[in-house]
Amino acid sequence: MTYNYTLIEANLTAALAEIRGQPNISKDIPLDRSSFADEIEQILGWIEDHGEYGIAYEALIALLEAFPFQLSGRAAVKLLEVGLLFRFKTEQPKDALFDSR
């Protein structure tokens, strides 16, 4: 399968930009984790410097699951597109319907 890495990078970067624009959420990040700025920079590095789009996607999803960030519908769709392109799934029983393996 051939991926459109330009689209994937643009979609991840757009979602990350929305998260980056919500530094007020950093108060919810525990002290034993990396700082908000460090986490954002690490994800940006995976996207722009290393082309590790899968890792960046997983890190973005983990942030969204752990903290009350808000994404626009547009950014949410962009993340969904990346997940669909990479065929990311969970092993949760509720997601079995979407598992085409």
| pLDDT tens per residue, range 3-20 | 789 999 999 999 999 999
The count of structural domains within the chain is 1
Residue type, 98: F
Under 8 Å between Cβ of 43 and 69: no
pLDDT value for 98: 67
Which SS3 state, helix, strand or coil, does residue 11 take?
helix
Average pLDDT along the chain? 89
- Counted residue by residue, the chain has a size of 101
Tokens read off for 2 = 């051939």
pLDDT score of 91: 74
Q: Which domain holds residue 90?
A: 5-98
Q: What single-letter DSSP state applies at residue 27?
A: G
